[in-house]
A and B are shown apart, each in its own frame.
Chain A
Amino acid sequence: MSFRRAQVQDAIFVRILVPLKLVPDPDNANKIRVSDDNQRLDICSMEQKANPFDEYALEAALRLTEDGRAPRARQGEIVVVSLGSSETEVMLRAGLATGADRAFRIATSDDALDAGRVAHVLSRLAAQESCDLVLMGKQSVDGDSNEVGQRIAAMLGWPQVTFASKILAHSESRLEVEREIDGGIQRVLVALPAVITVDLRIVAPDAVRSKLTSEDFQYAPGVRFAPLPAIMQARRKQLSIVELDAFGPLPKRTMRYMRYELPTSKAGGRVVSTPSELVRLLASEAKVL
């Protein structure tokens, strides 16, 4: 199953692993319900979508492996992977259509997973496929944990660059990355192999630049969509389905969800007609002034 890394004369061939997670439509998160026994989340009726941060990571990977002006020719390989049911395959195919080269689905039900197990499988896959970079979302917008990327880095003993808002390639194996941290922007230089997790601003027009892309090039903001011929072509790209335990015995679970509740919502407020009335109410009724 593993591919030999191609060495094209002096240009090193970079291989990027981009994990994609399928999540319930985040714009309808307020419609999520809890089962009567508080044991399950009821998301059956909700549309499933790719985690937005993972779509941003894929866009960043595409930008890192191309000349922005000639995005068809890819300098490197992008492998997308999801742990989940067959429903994730539509998302993986969409990833292939936008430019990823190969896909893996690690067949499992979500119940069998926790962050430690996801990180175990993804780090093994990254090693097996000789990936130079794991480029992924900083958090999944359903679990909101923000931990899998850091765990992968720890497991592989690789440097981690979390919350990346800008990536500039100095060479094929050295990247300058800007991170959004409290109180400002931190800039780091990282030598691959490494794990990078991306923040929202990574899809700004000048956020990611490969060595091939000229300095004045501006991308359209956001992520790209696949043109129709690419969607057809993507059907011929390789999508391998692998069992969850193909990477060695699963590690012991680290945590388990025991119970869910819906938060209490507060009573509706009221419309106030003028700023002076607002000030009066804030002082006398709400007592915050």
Chain B
Amino acid sequence: MSKVIVFLEVKDSEALRPASLHAITFARSLSQSLGQSYSLVLMGSDISHLAETVRGYGAEQVYVIDSPVFSEPLAENFVPSLCRVIEHTHASFIIGAATAAGKDLLPRLAGTLASAFISDCVGAEVGANGILWKRPLCAGNVIAFCESCTDCTVVSVRHAEFEAACTNGGFSPIVLFDAAPAEAAAQRIQLFGYDKLDNPRPELTEARVVVSGGRALAGRFFEILGPLADTLGAALGATRAACDGGFAPGDFQVGQTGKVVAPDLYVAVGISGAIQHVAGMKGARVVVAINSDPNAPIVSVADYTLVGDLFELVPELVGELKRHTKNS
């Protein structure tokens, strides 16, 4: 049985979160280095229809737990069932994407198991003396290598750092599992509502191009950045200042304490480049900055900088991009 299991996240009982496919890539390379197989765990309410779609990812087994217990996506409901799978498989490594749900659930699982938790993992070195887990510290200004001291290790993967797994043929067997009852604590917490953000653009952590805006955009955030994002097929991101100011939803925040992105192209518009922001975007392959201040810290992170007023430069850039697409 697999030593490595991957917790797959389901979004609104409808679809697999793409972030989970990035976590599979990490799990695959880890299990390869260990000479092991890996298995997948799919949990949710009314999710059996998703089981078929995850059979092609080369897992030794796909564990499916379909139960109304999971209709409220709360950690207290998921942890006991995950523990049951771990007990059954004797898994040593429990891996999930560092999404909001993963960051909520996986450390509680580690607490329950009294296990190590490797947060925001960006790599693993498998050597003769065991595994060194690689993770950024201090807003990405330090890279640390750490060792787990417990039998089980729970890992959240910084999914933007890994490609999405492709199906590689195969047809993993499905193992149906009964859900364990929720923790007693679940009786003291209740889902009360969900204000889903209406965002027609690609998801930040998945997009190949990200356009982000800062405080300088103020009330014209969407008016100015919307056309640029749409021309580039980009996701929209923002700084803390833009989110706190109410110019962009909190879900857009890129940074140390927001989302971490690693697109091919990141366009930072009216963003100063504070340490906490840079922590979330310095993995981008190409960075463009548009700023009126040639000495803003973002300029030293950018590959290309346009110096000037964003309210003039961005519409001009949109025009140039459209012309370029038409001509090529």
Contacts and interface: CB of A to CB of B under 8 A. Distances in A.
Interface residues of A, number: 85
A246 interface: no
Interface string A171-206: 000001000111111111111101000011100100
Interface in B85-109: 99-101, 103-104, 107-109
Contact of A184 (B132, B195, B321): B195
A144 to B, nearest CB: 6
Question: Main SS of the interface on chain B?
Answer: mixed
B7 to A, nearest CB: 15
A262 interface: yes
A279 interface: yes
Given A271-B294, A281-B304, A256 B139 contact: no
B195 to A, nearest CB: 4
A11 to B, nearest CB: 20
Contacts of B328: 283
Contacts of B183: 157
B145 A260 contact: yes
A259 B304 contact: no
A30 B9 CA distance: 34
Interface in A159-174: 159-163, 165
A184 B73 CA distance: 14
Interface stretch (A60-68, A74-82, A97-105, A135-143): A135-143
B283 to A, nearest CB: 10
Question: Main SS of the interface on chain A?
Answer: mixed
Interface stretch (B29-37, B164-172, B284-292): B284-292
Interface string A245-289: 000000111111111111100001111101110110111001011
Nearest to A254: B116
A188 B114 contact: no
Contacts of A269: 287, 299, 302-305
Nearest to A269: B303
A141 B306 CA distance: 31
Contacts of B286: 282, 286, 288
24 contacts: A32-B138, A119-B111, A144-B120, A144-B136, A145-B119, A145-B120, A151-B108, A154-B79, A154-B110, A157-B184, A158-B188, A183-B197, A186-B194, A187-B193, A190-B189, A254-B117, A255-B148, A259-B144, A260-B137, A269-B287, A278-B317, A286-B304, A288-B209, A289-B324
Interface of B: 11, 74-76, 79, 99-101, 103-104, 107-112, 114-120, 132, 136-150, 183-186, 188-197, 199, 203, 209, 240, 243-244, 250-251, 253, 256-257, 264-265, 274-276, 285-288, 294, 299-300, 302-307, 313, 316-317, 319-321, 323-324, 328
Interface of A: 24, 26-27, 29-30, 32, 34, 41, 53, 115-116, 119, 138-139, 141-147, 149-155, 157-163, 165, 176, 180-192, 194, 199-201, 204, 221, 251-263, 268-272, 274-276, 278-279, 281-283, 286, 288-289
Given A183-B199, A255-B118, A271-B304, 12 more contacts: A141-B139, A144-B137, A147-B117, A150-B75, A184-B195, A185-B194, A263-B140, A269-B287, A271-B307, A272-B306, A278-B320, A288-B265
